[in-house]
Structure 1
Amino acid sequence: MADLIIVIGVAGSGKTTLAQAIAKHCNLTFLDADDFHSAEAKAHMASGQPLTDTMRVPWIERIASSLTSLAQRNESAALAFSGLKQRHREPLRHCGLTPHFLFLSGDQRLIAERMSAREGHFMPPALLDSQFKSLEEPDPSREPDVTVLDITPPPEELLQQAIAAIKGSNR
């Protein structure tokens, strides 16, 4: 089993749901990258403005620092993290844990419907367009540690696909 399972994708793709399920199934520490955002960043997004890459840097640094601490304690984790660009994903590859990324790929309309149905989240559905514009889908030739998963199956089926992908990566 990989030391670090990172579920990536745009807002509303199901990252948190899948990462929590993987953490429970594999007895891993669960981390949600949203918990590492500053209050200012959350307010910025809640106001309908996307974060810039410059604004994301300290957020990614806080996540990487937490992962490094886990590695020092020899703990494995499942992380829900947008990871929209390769340069956002890259620092997490160097934290002392062996990463396996699961990219949740899906139709923007379906994701928008899911976002509209959820309550109490700081990320408004209006920012979904900016998420898709920023997204650099992983290229397997440059990022061989990424598995692409389609988001349309029910959560339990998606979990089974994720577990199979993780096990397959450790042969």
Structure 2
Amino acid sequence: MAVTPRPPVPSPFVLVVLGVAGSGKSTVGSALADRLALPFVDADDFHTPADRETMAAGRSLTDRERWPWLGSLAHWMDDQIGHGRSAVVACSALRRSYRDFLRENRPQVRFLYLQGSRELIAARLAARSGHFFPPQLLEDQFAELQEPTADERPYRVPLGGSPDQILARALEVLGDLAVPPREK
């Protein structure tokens, strides 16, 4: 299978760390942002209180509820890019249509996919406390997931091991993108 080459990454860039709930998007995204000296935002922070209540009650969001959330996130990304700032974002971006929306007219957007098995992620969710997303919605997440395809040119990181090991794999697959910015 031929590998789709990645075009050079424009500067600034926005790296979207994606995956199902419990895959480590926030942990890995925050660690990457720290390592690269970039701002980090968790897309969960863009959910309305009503969306959070819906998920906490054990019901997945509908597209009608998700599109305004994605629109708010896209607006934030546009602001970062417009001000010449690179950033790291943790966002599930489970469907192709969501990822297409986030990168529409934004060549600066790149995706890092945290890829793990149902069993591994279920165990992680079961061990997590204090989060509004209940573990019983994991099956909905996997049903919703459309894994990124080659034409999206995602960076892929297999899950397993400690957060430091996953971070090391992420930095390795990101290559030149993971080189911290130079002082001006």
Category of TM-score, reference length = shorter chain:
over 0.9
Q: Superposed, which structure 2 residues align to 1:9-158 within 5 Å?
A: 9-94=19-104, 96=106, 98-140=108-150, 142-144=151-153, 146-158=154-166
Larger Rg: 2
1:95 Cα deviation (Å)? 5.9
SS of aligned partner of 2:152? coil
- Unaligned residue ranges in structure 1 (runs of 5+): none
User: How far is 1:153 from its partner?
Assistant: 2.8
Q: Bigger shift: 88-97 or 2-11? A: 88-97
Give me the identity figure in percent: 38
Q: Say how many residue pairs are matched.
A: 168
- TM-score, normalising length: structure 2: 0.86
Cα separation, partners in 2 of 1:31 and 1:136, compared to 1, 3 Å: same
Cα distance in 1 for partners of 2:109, 2:172 equals 15
> What one-letter code is carried by the residue in structure 2 that aligns with 1:121?
H
Unmatched runs of 5 consecutive residues or more in structure 2: 1-8, 179-184
Q: Report the RMSD for the aligned CA atoms in angstroms.
A: 1.7
Deviations 1:106-147 (A, max 9, x none): 11111111111111100000000000000001111x312x11
Asked if the contact 1:22/1:78 (under 8 Å) is kept, the reply is yes
Is contact 1:29-1:78 (8 Å) kept? yes
Secondary structure of the structure 2 residue equivalent to 1:10: coil
* TM-score, length of structure 1 as denominator length: 0.92
